Amino acid sequence: MSGAASVAANAKPGGRVAIETGGAVLSSEGSSPVVGARAAAAKAQAGAPDEAPATTGGLGGIREQMRTQRKLRVVTLVSLAVVVLVVLPAFFGVRAAGSDPVFGSLDSLDVPSWAEQKVDDQSSGSRWCFTDCTFRERTAQSQKSFTETTAAYTSALTAAGWSPWKVGDCPEQAVDPKDSTYTCFKRDEFTLDLWVSPPDCKVDQVAANDPSVAGATAPPDPKTLGECAGSAVSIKVQNAIEDTRGKPDPDPSPITGETPDPELSNDPLLEPTPTAS
């Protein structure tokens, strides 16, 4: 009776009856449940976990991008360090080993073209002074006289920072001032000897006319005797620490001297033993 009374009480005009079944309400017109407030709340709670994976996946993607960027920055820094610490020193080392800076400095001298014909460079020793420092020598031919050639080279060397160096043994052997000059210069840790002498053809003529070497060299061609002009240039450069000119002689060692002659005494042990009679 109570159920019937409840149904009668919930009866609505038009013949429609609504029956309460806990949280859901059944309509007399069909069997489909009508979602109420509680059902909607339960569905909302049930749908909340479905959205969490999407949110978590977005944060993971951001973290992955940050890790990738950090890796790229590390790779970039390592590459730059390798270039600065390995590649550049190797490049400049190979470049320095392939070209001598002293010969490069001589190439940059403001010398007329007529004064540097047939240039030839020779060097020996170690550039880093292992055992021996490098000794450099350049030879060239000049088309003009030794006085004009000497003036051209002296002016170029002075303009490049070389200072005349007046020192003993410059030259080591006397030269004839009538046909040659010999001057010394100094700059930073280097010394330079400039010798301007007669050309090779003139030397051959002098040697051919010398009775002591007659027949040792072929006689010069008479057609070329009048064409022998110009001068020969020799430039020698060495490190100042290897150049002993102008430096005092080292002090002699105090322990060196003459060994005295031995003195013999009247020691009987030094007399020969007498023979038995």
Give residue-wise pLDDT tens across range 28-59. 444 444 445 566 666 656 554 444 444 445 77
Q: pLDDT per residue over 204-260, tens digit each?
A: 766 666 566 555 555 555 554 557 889 999 999 999 998 989 888 655 555 555 565
Q: What is the pLDDT of residue 61?
A: 81
How many whole angstroms separate alpha carbon 277 and alpha carbon 267? 24
Rg (CA), the chain: 53
Q: Is the pLDDT of residue 147 over 80?
A: yes
The structure's pTM equals 0.53
Residue 164 has pLDDT above 50, yes or no: yes
C-beta neighbour count of 135 within 10 angstroms: 14
Taking the C-alpha atoms of residue 131 and residue 129, their distance in angstroms, rounded to an integer, is 6
What pLDDT shows up at residue 277?
59
Sheet holding 163-164, edge to edge: 117-124, 135-142, 231-239, 190-197, 181-187, 163-164
Mean pLDDT for 157-181 is: 92
Q: Which residue has the higher pLDDT, 240 or 92?
A: 240
Q: Tokens representing 92?
A: 């400049």
Residue 125 confidence class, pLDDT cut points 50, 70, 90: confident
